[in-house]
A and B are shown apart, each in its own frame.
Chain A
Amino acid sequence: MARYVAGRLAGLVVLLLLVCVFTYLIFFKLSPDPALMICGKTCTPDRVAQIRASLGLDRPFLTQLGDYLSGLVAGRDYGSGPNLVHCPAPCLGYSFQSSQSVTQMIVDRLPVSATVAVGAAVLWLIVGIAAGLLSAVKEGSWWDRAAMGLALGGASIPNYVLALTLQYVLVVKLQILPFPSAVPFSEDPLLWFQSYLMPWLVLATGYACLYARLTRANVIDTLAQNFMRTARSKGLSPALTMRRHALRPALTPIVTIFGMDFAALLGGALITETVFGLNGIGKMAADSIAKNDQPVIMAVTLLAAFFVMAGNVVVDLLYTGLDPRVRVS
C-alpha cells in the first residue's frame, strides 16, 4: 500500500512538472511581450529593455524556468543590493500588474472559490442523488419521467445563461436577493448566504442533473444483479436490501466522479465567478488572462492542474477502501 501511494505521488510530481514546463513554454514562445504592454504608448526601446531586465525576461528560457521551479520549492530572491526582496518557499513570483505576491493573491482568493465549490457540491450531491434514487426505485413512474426530463434540460443550460436568467428574475424583477458580493461569513451571515446562493444554484444545476442520471442508471443496474435477488429471497425488506446491499455498489462510481468534479472546481469556477463578480481564483484567472499577467496565469494553471491530479489520487485511494474488489495488497 505504501509503495502504491508513493508511486502515485511520484507520478503526480512528474505530471505537474510537465504541466509547468509546457505552460511556461507556451507563454514564453507565443504570448505578446509583457514588457511592451506594461510600457504603454509612450515607449522607447531602452525602456522596454529595462523592463524586460527587471522582470527577468531577458534571460534564456531554461534559466527562467529553472528559477521558477527552484522558487517554487525553495523560494527565491528578486533584485539585488538594497532592493533585494525574498519570496518564501512556494514562490509563484509577483504579478506584473499589481506587483503583489502571487502566492498571497491565491491565499486571499482561495476561500471564496472554496465557499462556492463546497456550497454547490453539498447542494448537487443531496439533490442529484436523492432524485436519482427516487427515480430508480420508481422506474417508469411519472416522477421518474419528469425528473429525468428535467435533468436533461438542466444539463443543457450553459451556466452563464442560467446565471443571467437567475440574476434577472431574482435580483432585478422580484428583488428578493441582493447583487452577489463576497462578504465574509463572520461579517454578515445573512448577506453571505444571500450572496452565495445564486452562484451555488448555478454551479449545482448542471452537476445535480448529471448525478441524478448517473445515480438512477447505477441503482437500476445494481437492482438487477443476482445478489440483490438473493438478498430479497432471504426475506429482507425492500428498504433494508436497498440500504445494506444496493447503495454501496451503486454509489461507489459516483464517488470517483465527484472527487474529480469537486477538485476541478477548487481551481476556480471561472464563468460563474466572472458573471457574479465574485473575487475567487476563477475571476483572478479571467482577469490575469485579459491583462496578460503571466505569473498569475502560470500560477492558476498550475494550481488547477494540481487540484485535478491530487483529486485523482485521493479518489483512487478512497476507491480501494470503498470497493474491496480493487484493494491493493
Chain B
Amino acid sequence: MTTAAPSHEAMADPLAGAGDAPATEGRRIARALLRDRGAVLSTVFLGLVVLMAICAPLISAVTGHGPNDFDPAAVDTNLGGLPRGSFGGVSADHLLGVEPQNGRDILARIAYGARVSFLIAISATVLTTLLGVVLGLLAGFYQGWVDQVISRIMDFLMAFPALIFMIAILSSLPTGDRSVLLVTVITVFGWPYLARVVRGQTLTLVNREFVEAARASGASTGAIVFKEILPNLRNSLIVMTTLAVPGYIGTEAGLSFLGVGVTPPTPSWGQMISSAVSWYATDPMYFAVPGLFLFLTVLSLTVLGDRIRAASDAGEAS
C-alpha cells in the first residue's frame, strides 16, 4: 500500500503538533487495515470493480459485445422480448445475461456503467473536499465576519431539500453534458457537510499551543495553515472522503434511477436499475445484477471508511 508517500510528508512537516509522526501513523493504519478481514475483502472487491471499469473496452473486445450492441438472437420475441435461457440469459456468450427486448450485454453495460459512476463520484468528492476544506479553513481561521458569511451560506444550503432541488434543477436543464451537471449539482449541495467539520476542527486547532508558537516565531499565515493546521485535519479528511465516495455513488445512481441523471444510451448502474423496474417480476436478474454491484461497491467503500476511522481513532487514543 502507500508506505512511501507519508514519509515524504514527514520531512516537510517538522513542526507538526501531533504526537505521532505522520509516517508511522500512515503505516500503522495500513497495517491495521491489512489485518482486518473486512477491509481486505472490500479492497479486493473495489480493486476488481475499478479494474473492470478501466478495462471496459477490453472486456467488450474479448466478449465481442459493446455496451450498446443489440443482440436479437439472445431474446425471445414470442415472450415479449424476455432473454432466452435461465437467469436472465446467462450463457458462455453473455456472462451476466442480457437486457430484455434488445439483448444488450449486461456485463459490458456494468463495466461501462462503473466508469460513469466512479468518475462522477470521484470528481464530486474531489470538488466537495476542495471547496469544503478551503471554505471551512477560511471560516475557522479568520472567524469574525468571514465565518458569519460562510456559516450562513452553509445553513442555507443544508436547509434546502437537496434531493427535490437537485431533481428540479437537473430536469429543467435538458441540454449539456449530464455528467458535468451531476457533479456540479452534487458539489453545490455537498460541500457544507465537510466544511462544517473542517471549520469546527480548525476553530479548536487555531487556539492550540503549537499554532501560537508558530505564530510567535514569525511564521506566515500560509505556513501556519499548510504546515500546522492542514496536517492535523488529514485523518478526518481521509475518513470523510472515503465515506463521501459511496454516498455520491448512491446519489448519482439515485438521480439516474429517477431519470434525471446520465441519459441513455450512456449506461449507469442507477439507470440500469431504473429500466429494470418494469421487468422485475418477469426478469429479476436484470435488476439483481446492477443492484448487487451497487450494493457491494457502496458497502465496500463504507467498510473501508469505517475501518480507517477506527484505526485512526485508536491511534489518537493511545
Shortest C-beta distance, B21 to chain A (Å), equals 28
Residue B287, interface by CB 8 Å: yes
Residue A85, interface by CB 8 Å: no
Question: Could you tell me if B164 and A271 are in contact, using CB atoms closer than 8 angstroms?
Answer: no
Q: With the chains together, A267 CA to B284 CA distance in Å?
A: 32
Question: Could you tell me if B291 and A156 are in contact, using CB atoms closer than 8 angstroms?
Answer: no
Note all chain A residues with C-beta closer than 8 A to B161.
264, 267, 300-301, 304-305, 308
Note all chain A residues with C-beta closer than 8 A to B226.
none
Residues from 154 to 171 in A contacting B, C-beta threshold 8 Å: 155-158, 160-161, 164-165, 167-168
Note all chain A residues with C-beta closer than 8 A to B174.
32
- Residue among B38, B165, B174 with the most chain A CB within 10 A? B165
Shortest C-beta distance, B268 to chain A (Å), equals 13
Question: Could you tell me if B173 and A286 are in contact, using CB atoms closer than 8 angstroms?
Answer: no
Residue A258, interface by CB 8 Å: no
Question: Could you tell me if A158 and B250 are in contact, using CB atoms closer than 8 angstroms?
Answer: yes
Residue B63, interface by CB 8 Å: no
Shortest C-beta distance, B288 to chain A (Å), equals 8
Question: Could you tell me if A164 and B291 are in contact, using CB atoms closer than 8 angstroms?
Answer: yes
Question: Could you tell me if A286 and B172 are in contact, using CB atoms closer than 8 angstroms?
Answer: no
Shortest C-beta distance, B81 to chain A (Å), equals 19
Q: With the chains together, A165 CA to B165 CA distance in Å?
A: 27
Shortest C-beta distance, A154 to chain B (Å), equals 10
Note all chain B residues with C-beta closer than 8 A to A168.
280-281, 284, 287
Assuming the A-B contacts A19-B159, A156-B302, A158-B294, are A30 and B169 also in contact, with contact meaning beta carbons closer than 8 angstroms in the complex? yes
Q: With the chains together, A247 CA to B260 CA distance in Å?
A: 44
- B257 is contacted by which of A152, A160, A285 (Cβ under 8 Å)? A160
Assuming the A-B contacts A32-B172, A167-B280, are A152 and B287 also in contact, with contact meaning beta carbons closer than 8 angstroms in the complex? no
Question: Could you tell me if A289 and B280 are in contact, using CB atoms closer than 8 angstroms?
Answer: no
Assuming the A-B contacts A32-B172, A164-B287, A308-B159, are A286 and B295 also in contact, with contact meaning beta carbons closer than 8 angstroms in the complex? no
Shortest C-beta distance, B195 to chain A (Å), equals 18
Which residue of A is nearest B276, CB measured?
A164
Which residue of A is nearest B173, CB measured?
A30
Question: Could you tell me if B299 and A156 are in contact, using CB atoms closer than 8 angstroms?
Answer: yes
Residue A116, interface by CB 8 Å: no
Note all chain B residues with C-beta closer than 8 A to A19.
156, 159-160
Interface size class of A (residues with CB under 8 A): 35 or more
Residue B273, interface by CB 8 Å: yes
Question: Could you tell me if B303 and A301 are in contact, using CB atoms closer than 8 angstroms?
Answer: no
Question: Could you tell me if B172 and A30 are in contact, using CB atoms closer than 8 angstroms?
Answer: yes
- Residue among B159, B163, B281, B284 with the most chain A CB within 10 A? B159
Residues from 261 to 277 in A contacting B, C-beta threshold 8 Å: 264, 267-268, 270-271, 274-275
- B281 is contacted by which of A32, A172, A286, A300 (Cβ under 8 Å)? A172
Residues from 48 to 83 in A contacting B, C-beta threshold 8 Å: none
Shortest C-beta distance, B2 to chain A (Å), equals 24
Note all chain A residues with C-beta closer than 8 A to B163.
270
Residue A153, interface by CB 8 Å: yes
Question: Could you tell me if B295 and A289 are in contact, using CB atoms closer than 8 angstroms?
Answer: no
- B302 is contacted by which of A152, A301, A309 (Cβ under 8 Å)? A152
Residue B13, interface by CB 8 Å: no
Residue A31, interface by CB 8 Å: yes
Note all chain B residues with C-beta closer than 8 A to A31.
172
Interface size class of B (residues with CB under 8 A): 35 or more
Q: With the chains together, A300 CA to B258 CA distance in Å?
A: 17
- Residue among A19, A289, A301 with the most chain B CB within 10 A? A289
Shortest C-beta distance, A18 to chain B (Å), equals 6
Question: Could you tell me if A156 and B298 are in contact, using CB atoms closer than 8 angstroms?
Answer: yes
Q: With the chains together, A267 CA to B165 CA distance in Å?
A: 12
Question: Could you tell me if A301 and B168 are in contact, using CB atoms closer than 8 angstroms?
Answer: yes
Question: Could you tell me if B159 and A312 are in contact, using CB atoms closer than 8 angstroms?
Answer: yes
Q: With the chains together, A268 CA to B294 CA distance in Å?
A: 24
Which residue of A is nearest B284, CB measured?
A168
Note all chain B residues with C-beta closer than 8 A to A289.
164, 167-168, 171, 260
Note all chain A residues with C-beta closer than 8 A to B254.
158, 160, 271
Residue A15, interface by CB 8 Å: yes
Residue B93, interface by CB 8 Å: no
Q: With the chains together, A167 CA to B259 CA distance in Å?
A: 21
- Residue among B164, B259, B273 with the most chain A CB within 10 A? B164
Q: With the chains together, A275 CA to B270 CA distance in Å?
A: 14
Residues from 143 to 196 in B contacting A, C-beta threshold 8 Å: 155-156, 159-161, 163-165, 167-169, 171-174
Residue A297, interface by CB 8 Å: yes
Q: Which B residues lie at the A interface, using CB under 8 A?
A: 38, 155-156, 159-161, 163-165, 167-169, 171-174, 246, 250, 253-254, 257-260, 270, 273, 276-277, 280-281, 284, 287, 291, 294-295, 298-299, 302-303, 306
In order of increasing CB-CB distance, the 5 nearest A-B pairs are A31-B172, A304-B161, A156-B299, A161-B291, A156-B298
A sample of 18 cross-chain residue pairs with beta-carbon separation below 8 angstroms, ordered by A number, consists of: A26-B169, A26-B172, A30-B169, A155-B302, A156-B302, A157-B295, A158-B250, A158-B295, A160-B254, A160-B257, A161-B291, A164-B273, A164-B280, A264-B161, A271-B257, A289-B260, A297-B164, A301-B161
Q: Which A residues lie at the B interface, using CB under 8 A?
A: 15, 18-19, 23, 26-27, 30-32, 149, 152-153, 155-158, 160-161, 164-165, 167-168, 172, 264, 267-268, 270-271, 274-275, 285-286, 289-290, 292, 297, 300-301, 304-305, 308-309, 312
Given contacts A30-B169, A301-B164, could you give 8 more A-B pairs where the C-beta distance is less than 8 Å?
A15-B159, A30-B172, A32-B174, A156-B295, A157-B295, A160-B254, A301-B161, A309-B159
